[in-house]
Amino acid sequence: MATAGALGSLGSDLAFSVSFGIANELLDAAHEAHLSEDELIGIVLSLSVLLAAVPSTFVAVRKEWEKYRAGIIKDGSNGGGGGSENPLTTGGTAPVAPQPTSGLFEFAILLFRMAQRISLSICVQLLASNVRSRQPLRSVRIVSLLAVSIFFLFLESTSSVGNAHRR
């Protein structure tokens, strides 16, 4: 358990440090391409929303595929029609063993989740940079940065509410 916690914190530190460098490079590239910071924030936020949807879509497609395959094995059909019985299981239907999870599939989901964490962290970095560059008063910058952090904490906490109900 301690190892998992250490790896989780290492992943968070990695995501933060990598996102800081990427955010600076994106800001430089946006200035060179004459792209405003607001447009860049919109692009990166859209990308993070897409990256957040990909793992759950993969999992849903995989579950449906496994249901389909289990139905074929149980039916004995070739997937094209009829529902003829499998001669090996005519005496009784044996339970279909679930397929072991693919390590490659789990790794791909992990990569997408890490990319989503990095892109959200980049959004926070870009918003903070935008606030710092646009607000002349220090007190307004501090309040704006606190509002940005509260907003993203709210997004993070509400995104996990649905997961608790599904389990």
Side chain identity, residue 36: S
CA distance 65 to 98: 12
Work out whether the CA dihedral 156, 157, 160, 162 comes out positive or negative. Answer: negative
**76: DSSP letter:** T
pLDDT single digits (tens) 99-120 = 556 778 888 888 888 888 888 8
Q: List the domain boundaries for the chain.
A: 13-161
Contacts 24+ apart (CB under 8 A), 156-159: 159/52
Lowest mean pLDDT among 45-49, 97-101, 121-125: 97-101
Read off the pLDDT of each residue in 78-106 and give the average, rounded to a whole number. Answer: 55
